[in-house]
Amino acid sequence: FGYVLYYFLILQKTSTMVAAAGENQCEVVLVGCGAPKRGMGWYHAVQMIKGKCPSAKLCFVVEPWFLGAGSTGPGGPEFVEWQKEVEASEGIQFFKSLADLPPPADGKKRLALISGRTADNPRLLTECIGAGNCSTIYLEKPGAPTVAELEAMRDEASAAGVSVLMGYNKNVCKYVSKAR
């Protein structure tokens, strides 16, 4: 019995929790988190972590900037601290590139929530489609620098059979507030 308890305790210390979508949830990969308490992606992450969207489970974060060249710049240390916190408490996995993501869990749908820099969004959408493991993409506004790029993105997603939803934060501009 002592050996069993010993190995159980060792396994407990060395195993790590991994976020997984529940029965009625889709896996979410957040692409472009941004800085904690500043980036729109970070706010989306916090909402999912707090269970504000019960049909979605944040399982992965892809953050090319803060897991790359921006790791030591402004916001970098705060991002790394937050990353360590949510890896330990939530089991969310972090990656520098979409190419590093594991395939979706058996029978699960995966949604990519793109909240990157506007100039990067066309490339990020192409990478999400190219990875072949996202059935739906939620694209935070503005989706691209130009209408022509948005149209090309729409056509690319349509050809691949990927649904794209556009996000819009209704509280960002005065004319929307006045229209309400």
pLDDT tens for each residue of 71-103: 999 999 999 999 999 999 999 999 999 999 998
Q: What is the pLDDT of residue 137?
A: 95
Contact 123, 149 (CB under 8 A): no
CA 132 → CA 2, 6, 121, distances in Å?
48, 43, 17
Q: Minimal CA–CA distance to 79: which of 115, 29, 34?
A: 34
Report residue 167's pLDDT band, with 50, 70 and 90 as the boundaries.
Answer: confident
Q: Minimal CA–CA distance to 91: which of 27, 16, 29?
A: 16
Would you say residue 169 has pLDDT above 90? no
Half-sphere exposure of 148 (CA within 13 A, CB side): 0
Report residue 156's pLDDT band, with 50, 70 and 90 as the boundaries.
Answer: very high
Contact 17, 49 (CB under 8 A): no
Q: pLDDT per residue over 48-67, tens digit each?
A: 999 998 999 999 999 999 99
Report residue 106's pLDDT band, with 50, 70 and 90 as the boundaries.
Answer: confident
What average pLDDT does the structure give for the chain?
86
Provide mean pLDDT across the span 149-170.
Answer: 90
For residue 147, give the 3-state DSSP assignment. helix
Q: What is the pLDDT of residue 52?
A: 92
Q: What is the pLDDT of residue 10?
A: 38
**Residue 61 CA from chain centroid, whole number:** 4
Q: pLDDT per residue over 115-147, tens digit each?
A: 999 999 999 999 999 887 889 999 998 899 999
Provide mean pLDDT across the span 144-163.
Answer: 96
CA 66 → CA 3, 73, 92, 104, 137, distances in Å?
43, 8, 16, 24, 22
Contact 128, 134 (CB under 8 A): yes
